[in-house]
Amino acid sequence: MRGKFITLEGVDGAGKSTHLDWIAGRLQAAGKKTVVTREPGGTPLGEELRKLLLAQPMHLETETLLMFAARREHLERVILPALAAGSWVLSDRFTDATFAYQGGGRGLDLGRIESLENWVHQGLQPDLTLVFDLSVEEAERRRTVAATAPDRFEQENLEFFARVRSVYLARAARYPQRIRLIDAGRSVIDIRKSLEEILAILCL
Ligand code: TYD
């Protein structure tokens, strides 16, 4: 039986990384073979592209094409084979991030992103996307507390992240079957309760 494909999304600082390992643990405890991966990245070439994308200034269309180039490899070498083998795939970001960051944040026409999505995905969509939603002010505060050197995206201003967030919210409203919004302003325990309920519907 084909596995399921779950993606995690949200503005930088919303806390998705905190919950990723926990979700993987829940899936494994439920007996699912689980592959944890991330975008941009997830393959040797994808990780090389990630280094460039997070550090190197480039044209917005170059940035978008490299995101999809990394994604093409990722689908071919990791995501599709794992799903076909019955594993569950948990990816830290996927194409919703391109709509939110390159589309919302940087202003690329969403129709162009849709064209690339149709080309690269070949019909695949996540079975479930969890969007960790948080005010951009609180997300920035958390990023400051984390105090890691900010990458090219994390250096953007609050207006950028407000546009990123608004695209995530719009997509959650447009695809309510697939995308579930998680109020990330709550305690970790409360967030886990919500995650538990959502995962239970899917599988556990
Ligand atoms: P992120 O997933 O936040 O990793 P970390 O927690 O290690 O910082 O970093 C990836 C960055 O890449 C993030 O700022 C969003 C950005 N990104 C895009 O702009 N478009 C995309 O399509 C993807 C997948 C990521």
- Which residue is it, tokens 């969890």? 130
Task: Identify the residue whose C-alpha is closest to ligand 1 atom 20.
Answer: 98
Assess whether pLDDT exceeds 60 at residue 112: yes
The residue-averaged pLDDT of 178-195 equals 97
Assess whether pLDDT exceeds 60 at residue 204: no
The residue-averaged pLDDT of 8-26 equals 95
Spatial distance between the Cα atoms of 137 and 139, rounded to a whole number of angstroms: 5
Q: What is the mean pLDDT of the chain?
A: 96
143-173 pLDDT, tens per residue? 998 878 899 999 999 999 999 999 999 999 9
Point out the ligand 1 atom lying closest to the alpha carbon of residue 95: 22
**In the prediction, which pLDDT does 148 show?**
83
Task: Identify the residue whose C-alpha is closest to ligand 1 atom 23.
Answer: 97
Spatial distance between the Cα atoms of 164 and 171, rounded to a whole number of angstroms: 11
Domain of residue 60: give its range. 5-202
Query: What is the pTM for the complete model shown?
Result: 0.97
**In the prediction, which pLDDT does 36 show?**
98
CB 80 within 8 A of CB 111: no
Distance 98 CA to ligand 1 centre (A): 9
CB under 8 Å, gap of 24 or more: what pairs does 160-164 form?
160/105, 160/106, 161/11, 161/12, 161/105, 161/136, 162/136, 163/104, 163/105, 163/107, 164/11, 164/100, 164/101, 164/104, 164/105
* CATH number, domain containing residue 39: 3.40.50.300
**In the prediction, which pLDDT does 3 show?**
95
**In the prediction, which pLDDT does 201 show?**
86
Spatial distance between the Cα atoms of 200 and 144, rounded to a whole number of angstroms: 34
The residue-averaged pLDDT of 129-153 equals 93
Q: Judging by DSSP bridges, how do beta strands 128-133 and 34-38 pair with one another? A: unpaired
Task: Name the pLDDT band for 78 (thresholds 50, 70, 90).
Answer: very high
**In the prediction, which pLDDT does 140 show?**
95
The residue-averaged pLDDT of 110-120 equals 98
29-49 pLDDT, tens per residue? 999 999 999 999 999 999 999
Q: Is 9 left (phi over 0), alpha (psi -120 to 50) or beta?
A: beta
Sheet holding 34-38, edge to edge: 34-38, 88-92, 5-10, 128-133, 179-183
15 lines ligand 1 (CB under 6 A): no
Distance 39 CA to ligand 1 centre (A): 7
What total number of domains does the chain contain? 1
